[in-house]
Amino acid sequence: MSSHVSKVNVSKTNAARILDQLGISYEIRTYEVDPNDLTAISVAKKIEMPIEQVYKTLLSRLHSGEYVFAVVPGDAELDLKKLAAAAGEKKAELASLKDVEPLTGYIRGGVTVMGAKKAFRAFADETLELWDRISVSAGQRGMQLLMSPADYLRASGAEVVDLTKAPVQ
C-alpha cells in the first residue's frame, strides 16, 4: 500500500487522488505560503529539500498555439529553444500569467501536470532522473508531493529531455 505522510491534516488534491488511483507511493509536505515569495527556492527551504530536487511546472505556449508543460529544477532556468525543439516546434514562450489558471485550473505557485484541466503534453528536464525523490506541486500553494522520478513520469506522462539553460560561469 502507499504511505501518505503529512505534517498537518490536509485535504487531498486532484494530483494526490491521481497518484492514489495509480497506486503510487508519495508523501505530502505542507508549508506556510508567502504570496510575495512563491519561488522554488523558498519552497525548498520550507520543505527542507535541496533546491535541485524541487521541480517547478511552467506552462508554455508553442509557436503553433499549443500549450505544453515544462518541468524544471527550482534552481534552473527553462531554455525555451530546447523546449520548442523537444516539442517539434520553432518557438516557445512562457504562457501569460492570466492564461495559466483558465487553462490549467491551477494558480501560480500551485501548477502541476497531474489533474490539470486539460491534458497538455509535458516535458521534464533530464536532471529529474538523477534523484531518488523529487518534489512537485500538489496542485495548490502550500503543498508539495514527494515521490520517485519514475513514479512522477508514470503519473504525468512527461517526456524526459534537456530543458535547462547552462549555468552562467
- Residue 1 resides in a domain: no
The residue range of the domain holding 49 is 14-161
Residue 132 is given by DSSP the state S
What strands, in cross-sheet order, belong to the sheet with 27-30? Answer: 27-30, 143-147, 134-137
Instruction: Give the separation between CA 71 and CA 81, rounded to whole angstroms.
Output: 15
Q: Tell me the torsion sign for CA atoms 137, 34, 126, 124.
A: positive
- Residue 106 resides in a domain: yes
Per-residue pLDDT of the chain (169 residues; tens, 9 = 90+): 444 443 444 578 999 999 999 999 999 999 999 989 989 999 999 999 999 999 999 999 999 999 999 999 999 999 999 999 999 999 999 999 999 999 999 999 999 999 999 999 999 999 999 999 999 999 999 999 999 999 999 999 999 999 999 765 5
Q: In terms of pTM, does the model score above 0.85?
A: yes
State the CATH number of the domain containing residue 37.
3.90.960.10
With H, G, I as helix, E, B as strand and everything else as coil, classify residue 56.
strand
Q: According to the model, what pLDDT value does residue 169 have?
A: 52
Q: According to the model, what pLDDT value does residue 168 have?
A: 59
- Residue 61 resides in a domain: yes
List of long-range contacts for 40-43, beta carbons under 8 Å, 24+ apart: 40/73, 40/74, 40/75, 41/74, 41/75, 43/74, 43/135, 43/144
Number of structural domains in the chain: 1
Q: Which helix (H) or strand (E) holds 92?
A: strand 92-94
What residues pair up with 58 in beta bridges, in sequence order?
70
Q: According to the model, what pLDDT value does residue 35 have?
A: 87
Length of the chain (residues) = 169
- Residue 6 resides in a domain: no
Q: According to the model, what pLDDT value does residue 11 have?
A: 74
Q: Tell me the torsion sign for CA atoms 142, 72, 75, 103.
A: negative
Residue 23 is given by DSSP the state T
- Residue 169 resides in a domain: no
Rounded (to 5) percent helix, strand, coil in the chain? 30, 25, 45
